[in-house]
Structure 1
Amino acid sequence: MTDPTKGARSDAASAESGRRPEEEDQTGPVIRDKRRIDENGDVRATSEDKVTDETAAENADGQATGESATADDVAGEAGEHPDTVLAAERLDALQRTQAEYFNYKKRVERDREAQKDATTARVLESLLPVLDDIYLAREHGDLEGSPFEKIADKLEATLTKLGLAAFGAVGEPFDPTHHEALMHIEAEVPEDAEGTTIVQVMQPGYRLGDRMVRPARVAVADPS
Structure 2
Amino acid sequence: MDHTTLDPESFDEAPDSATEAADANGTTEAAQHDATQHEAPAHDPAPAAADAASNEADAAAPASAEGDDLAGLEDPLADSELAAALDRIATLEDQLARANADHYNLNQEYGNYVRRTKEAIPGYKESGHVEVLEALIGVLDDIDAARQAGDLADGPFAAIATKLEDTLATRFGLSRYGAEGEDFDPTLHEALMARPNPEVEHPVIGQLLQPGYTMGERVLRVAKVLVDNPE
Q: TM-score, normalised by structure 1?
A: 0.48
Higher Cα radius of gyration: 2
The structure carrying a bigger helix percent of its residues is 2
